[in-house]
Chain A
């Protein structure tokens, strides 16, 4: 009786084993990359529940309140700062004083207990980001946080992955805008960005900081 399998089957079997491993590994890797970069993992675009459904669309959009009225640290400190209850009460002791939505604000003010906001743009603890220097160098709020003036509930606009940070750190001329306009929403450059960008990079002495200790330490 002749052999059922030819001798070349041995090599075929071996090859198929290797191919299977490679294909499965490749698929796994690709899946890993897909998931790790997905908005599911980065929480990009995910509106977060808050104790008070604070609307940036209303306050920053329709009312036109400047970002810095509430985020007072943005020009001075690493933190832009979520405002103290007192800031809310500056207006809301006068308007909407009976609104049930604002009950937590009034409670906080009366009991002296903080409002517990959910962090939306949350960097890992080993990343040290400083708002003030970015504002000083002409990085618009919108560049990272998106059209906040259109967000009824705040969500994370960008992926906040390191490659996203590095894109701007490597090519600041693509994103920089005049300092006076950092808080402007829906900013359009007055002249083409590929001309304005390099000019501002030079004027503002913007460095391409790509070394590790710029952000990690």
Chain B
């Protein structure tokens, strides 16, 4: 069934070409012909590549696209030539210059344990939605520079996700709110306290605080909750509300199913069948990092393991988690509830729903799914996503109970929230309090409700009805705009607090740096209500835990907890609860149109809270490959029906509101549904986030915040460019990914190596001068495990001082990431299989780059690395031109920020900060290699296996990367490379890359036809 042309009659023309302005026709017959001819899975990146449009070919054949090497700004070009002329003439004078004088500023008294030049690591946590992401933060002379996962913490096991990796840039964001403000004037914190205490006095004496409203994000911190209780005791009339845009479905779903708020955690390492109902659990949400590790453990086929779990995905928009599916079913959002009800009915032997039966096209998928689940009772997991309604979550809880999974693979515990409530009701209560004029003082502690609350509430107007509006915030953002007192909020690396991890493990948050801008935390502001307004947050957190720890050895216990970053064995205890089946609710329609609109939290900037983080804005989304914008994600068939092409602006009207966005066609999006990401269209996020994308909250309502039905879509007849990287650095007409099924693999373990060619050693005209007698560094990447989350890309960016280039330059293929995660499609255009492949410098033994450099700025070394020397590079770009993997990145412009002081503090002092005109690329984190080698040499030993962990491997949630010494047969990487699935990327070129890949093995259900593997 083709969505483009279901009848197969005349040719369908879809003009599409993101690379050039003129459109080339995409010919359906070409596409289908190409697919039919292909042997095994044919891989393609986009519909353009599939139809081999002229524009795509042109794009491919250039080292960088046409515009990348050109100077587009005419005025600037003239100036540049003038300056270049002068520089050439004066070049000789360079010899007459001296190095500028530099200074050394030693400590007056050296801090304990510090050895200048050696990093120190501190355990803390980065809380997202109140859930702790446990981390170790690398600090250089007490400047946090890099985040690693906390290897001892059960929620991390050493890995960290994308927002956590990028958190360190958020700390140094120059756009942060830096001063206490009152009506736009800079004030001191003490003047705020003075005004605040007067206000409190009045409230207490006159109305017991009845005019006070406190709005927080979801409170999970036990200390903060205790403080709030104290405040509410002192001011019995005051009210405390919680609001956060995400997590509602999960929270209310458990209430709906069990009659109480519970937290579910999942044991993916025990599940043989996993069903995701729109859950992006490998990338986002509580426990994502641990789940990715556990899930991968069941999927990998290394060390003689020849079993895999089976993974079914039902999705309303393509996600990176869905890309790992063995079978994926795309579904319009309004049918999800019906689907899970049908699933529940089928599993309990009941009759399917008559109002929303399983569509015939999905029947085979549905039957196979039911059969697999029934055969794996107690060994399966059904998990619902954060973008799904409480009803779907409740039914999924019921399904897990039917399957006997609860207590086995699904562990129910008490809620992690201190006071779980219906936050949609809470925000509505606040709005009605405000509208009725009851509120004398509103304190907004963190969050950004004016932006992320559904527009239908009109919170912006309501807030202004409060007489005193006090706002603690990281930024002068949309919410700050309507508040009078602005107090700069501390970043998570600047305060003391505590938070549970996904499983309830108590995690202590300690500051790593004194507040950069004299900020305050919610703890500091709440303590101002009490009789001890000067009490520090350190004392608050410590004193709280003193009341909880019964032993006499509190100091030792507490120091241990801070050192480890968490309290050992403090995970929440499992509880037993009975789920009931909730009846199906009637589907609601909010417009007269025919399209569904689904709302999704962006995997990186989340609900918009990290919109000003340039690393996150420029990080390509796993499936859409978009940077700097969100888009209206549609299927090719929907685009055809709407008569729109990529980057066409459309107007979406639903719920009586309108928003515009740019079309982006993504294979795998269900027909008739538009996928919109939340978190964009910020107006006051700071310089990076302002104007990035459009705000989907504008058409979101409190009644149905998950999707809207009946939307109308109007073509506006104009384009809005989207900076997608999906064609950048493409390797033409080659099958970079090797994939197969588990059955194929068991039948022929060496199938991957048969599909890849590797020239015999010595078959080269290049002199073979290198013997690798000492170490021989190598890397292996397991494509079965890789979940395409991009955490490695941002970890690499943090570790290696990689510049951000901005949307304009991404459009010119000038992004600087050393790793790119290629995403390939295979199979049908409407619901293809997806594959990920992280590609960084392959460190070839016969490196094409080395032989063409005229100044030997890139050269081989005795350990097999391709050294790139910035101070030698003169920027000919020959190396990049000659690189078949397209992994070299050239500094076309001065993208590195040499001006902003706060950003300089983030830089890794062990890596050169590059300037304009030099080439750069992955180094295997040579700074870490050298550090380990020096440590080993000083102890007269060899570097042990596992001592060197590159930044990408270190953060990888699914543990898909191994690095080490190939000369050591016992090393982990050597073992991986002995796997029969190991193959070299473009091995036929005889580059002998040091990075190799383990083929992507999937486990499709034999009962279902599939395109995976060799046909």
Chain A residues close to B by CB (< 8 Å): 28, 32, 35-36, 40-41, 43, 48, 72-73, 76-79, 81-86, 108-109, 112-119, 122, 124-126, 128, 130, 132-133, 136-137, 205, 207, 211-214, 216-217
Q: Are B96 and A35 in contact (CB under 8 A)?
A: yes
Q: Supply 26 A–B pairs (Cβ within 8 Å), ascending by A.
A: A43-B99, A72-B115, A76-B118, A77-B115, A81-B115, A82-B104, A85-B107, A112-B108, A114-B106, A114-B107, A119-B101, A119-B103, A126-B870, A126-B871, A128-B910, A133-B934, A133-B937, A133-B938, A136-B938, A211-B860, A212-B872, A213-B869, A216-B869, A216-B912, A217-B923, A217-B930
In Å, the complex CA distance between A78 and B870 comes to: 21
In Å, the complex CA distance between A124 and B861 comes to: 22
B438 within 8 A of A: no
In Å, the complex CA distance between A205 and B937 comes to: 9
Give the residue of A109, A117, A124, A205 whose beta carbon is less than 8 angstroms from that of B106: A117
Q: Are A86 and B108 in contact (CB under 8 A)?
A: yes
B349 within 8 A of A: no
Q: Are A77 and B930 in contact (CB under 8 A)?
A: no
In Å, the complex CA distance between A214 and B937 comes to: 14
Q: Which residues of A contact B401 (CB under 8 A)?
A: none
| Contact (A118, B109) CB under 8 Å given A41-B96, A77-B117, A213-B926 | no
Q: Are B862 and A211 in contact (CB under 8 A)?
A: yes
Q: Are A41 and B106 in contact (CB under 8 A)?
A: no
Q: Are A28 and B92 in contact (CB under 8 A)?
A: yes
Q: Which residues of B contact A207 (CB under 8 A)?
A: 774
Q: Are B106 and A81 in contact (CB under 8 A)?
A: yes
Q: Which residues of B contact A109 (CB under 8 A)?
A: 108
Residues 737-794 of B contacting A (Cβ, < 8 Å): 774
Q: How many A-B residue pairs have CB under 8 A?
A: 131
Q: Are A113 and B108 in contact (CB under 8 A)?
A: yes
In Å, the complex CA distance between A104 and B870 comes to: 40
Q: Are B869 and A212 in contact (CB under 8 A)?
A: yes
B206 within 8 A of A: no
Q: Which residues of B contact A36 (CB under 8 A)?
A: 95
Nearest chain B residue, comparing its CB with the CB of A112: B108
Residues 846-895 of B contacting A (Cβ, < 8 Å): 859-863, 865, 867, 869-872
In Å, the complex CA distance between A108 and B862 comes to: 48
Interface residues as binary, B76-104 with A (CB distance below 8 Å gives 1, 0 otherwise) = 00000000000000001001111101111
Q: Which residues of A contact B13 (CB under 8 A)?
A: none
Q: Are A84 and B96 in contact (CB under 8 A)?
A: no
Chain B residues close to A by CB (< 8 Å): 92, 95-99, 101-110, 115-118, 774, 859-863, 865, 867, 869-872, 910-913, 923, 926-927, 930, 934, 937-938, 940
In Å, the complex CA distance between A142 and B871 comes to: 28
Q: Are B117 and A40 in contact (CB under 8 A)?
A: no
Q: Which residues of B contact A79 (CB under 8 A)?
A: 116-117
In Å, the complex CA distance between A48 and B910 comes to: 27
| Contact (A82, B867) CB under 8 Å given A32-B92, A41-B95, A41-B98 | no
Q: Which residues of B contact A212 (CB under 8 A)?
A: 859, 861, 867, 869, 872
Q: Are A43 and B118 in contact (CB under 8 A)?
A: no
In Å, the complex CA distance between A52 and B938 comes to: 35
In Å, the complex CA distance between A207 and B871 comes to: 24
Q: Are A82 and B106 in contact (CB under 8 A)?
A: yes
Q: Which residues of A contact B102 (CB under 8 A)?
A: 118-119, 122
| Contact (A116, B105) CB under 8 Å given A213-B865, A217-B927 | yes
Q: Which residues of A contact B938 (CB under 8 A)?
A: 132-133, 136
Give the residue of B104, B115, B923, B937 whose beta carbon is less than 8 angstroms from that of A119: B104
Q: Which residues of A contact B101 (CB under 8 A)?
A: 48, 118-119, 122
Q: Which residues of A contact B105 (CB under 8 A)?
A: 114-117
Q: Are B862 and A117 in contact (CB under 8 A)?
A: no
Q: Which residues of A contact B103 (CB under 8 A)?
A: 116-119
| Contact (A77, B116) CB under 8 Å given A84-B109, A85-B106 | yes
In Å, the complex CA distance between A35 and B99 comes to: 14
State how many angstroms separate the Cβ of A47 from the closest Cβ of chain B: 13
| Contact (A40, B98) CB under 8 Å given A77-B118, A79-B116, A124-B871 | yes
State how many angstroms separate the Cβ of A39 from the closest Cβ of chain B: 10
Q: Which residues of B contact A73 (CB under 8 A)?
A: 115-117
Q: Are A211 and B861 in contact (CB under 8 A)?
A: yes
In Å, the complex CA distance between A130 and B933 comes to: 12
Q: Are B937 and A136 in contact (CB under 8 A)?
A: yes
Q: Which residues of B contact A76 (CB under 8 A)?
A: 115, 118
**What 4 A-B pairs are tightest by C-beta distance, nearest first?**
A211-B861, A114-B105, A212-B867, A77-B117
State how many angstroms separate the Cβ of B111 from the closest Cβ of chain A: 9
Q: Which residues of B contact A32 (CB under 8 A)?
A: 92, 95
Q: Are B98 and A126 in contact (CB under 8 A)?
A: no
In Å, the complex CA distance between A216 and B869 comes to: 6
In Å, the complex CA distance between A83 and B927 comes to: 26
In Å, the complex CA distance between A106 and B911 comes to: 36
| Contact (A217, B934) CB under 8 Å given A32-B95, A40-B98, A73-B116 | no
| Contact (A35, B106) CB under 8 Å given A133-B934, A212-B859, A216-B871 | no
Q: Which residues of A contact B927 (CB under 8 A)?
A: 128, 217
In Å, the complex CA distance between A122 and B923 comes to: 25
Q: Which residues of A contact B911 (CB under 8 A)?
A: 217
Q: Which residues of B contact A119 (CB under 8 A)?
A: 101-104
Nearest chain B residue, comparing its CB with the CB of A109: B108
Q: Which residues of A contact B862 (CB under 8 A)?
A: 211
Q: Are A213 and B116 in contact (CB under 8 A)?
A: no
In Å, the complex CA distance between A76 and B910 comes to: 16
Q: Which residues of B contact A136 (CB under 8 A)?
A: 937-938
Q: Identify 6 new A-B residue pairs, CB closer than 8 A, beyond the known A28-B92, A79-B117, A211-B862.
A: A40-B98, A41-B96, A130-B934, A205-B940, A216-B869, A217-B911
State how many angstroms separate the Cβ of B889 from the closest Cβ of chain A: 16
Q: Are B98 and A43 in contact (CB under 8 A)?
A: yes
State how many angstroms separate the Cβ of B142 from the closest Cβ of chain A: 14
State how many angstroms separate the Cβ of A8 from the closest Cβ of chain B: 35
Q: Are A213 and B867 in contact (CB under 8 A)?
A: yes
In Å, the complex CA distance between A126 and B969 comes to: 35
Q: Which residues of A contact B867 (CB under 8 A)?
A: 211-213, 216
Q: Are B109 and A125 in contact (CB under 8 A)?
A: no
In Å, the complex CA distance between A118 and B923 comes to: 33
Give the residue of A115, A122, A130 whose beta carbon is less than 8 angstroms from that of B99: A122
Give the residue of B109, B115, B865, B872 whose beta carbon is less than 8 angstroms from that of A85: B109
Q: Which residues of A contact B107 (CB under 8 A)?
A: 84-86, 114
In Å, the complex CA distance between A102 and B388 comes to: 71
In Å, the complex CA distance between A136 and B935 comes to: 11
State how many angstroms separate the Cβ of A57 from the closest Cβ of chain B: 20
Q: Are B861 and A213 in contact (CB under 8 A)?
A: yes
State how many angstroms separate the Cβ of B105 from the closest Cβ of chain A: 4
Nearest chain A residue, comparing its CB with the CB of B859: A212
Q: Which residues of A contact B118 (CB under 8 A)?
A: 76-78
State how many angstroms separate the Cβ of B721 from the closest Cβ of chain A: 36
In Å, the complex CA distance between A72 and B110 comes to: 11
State how many angstroms separate the Cβ of A25 from the closest Cβ of chain B: 11
State how many angstroms separate the Cβ of A46 from the closest Cβ of chain B: 9
Nearest chain B residue, comparing its CB with the CB of A43: B98
Give the residue of A86, A108, A113, A125 whose beta carbon is less than 8 angstroms from that of B912: A125
Q: Are B910 and A124 in contact (CB under 8 A)?
A: no
Q: Are A132 and B106 in contact (CB under 8 A)?
A: no
State how many angstroms separate the Cβ of B890 from the closest Cβ of chain A: 17
Q: Which residues of B contact A28 (CB under 8 A)?
A: 92
In Å, the complex CA distance between A81 and B97 comes to: 27
Greatest chain B CB density within 10 A among A77, A82, A83, A212 is at A212
State how many angstroms separate the Cβ of A193 from the closest Cβ of chain B: 23
Q: Are A124 and B870 in contact (CB under 8 A)?
A: no
In Å, the complex CA distance between A32 and B115 comes to: 41
Q: Which residues of B contact A77 (CB under 8 A)?
A: 115-118
State how many angstroms separate the Cβ of B1003 from the closest Cβ of chain A: 41
| Contact (A128, B871) CB under 8 Å given A32-B95, A108-B108, A122-B102 | no
Q: Which residues of B contact A118 (CB under 8 A)?
A: 101-104
In Å, the complex CA distance between A114 and B99 comes to: 23
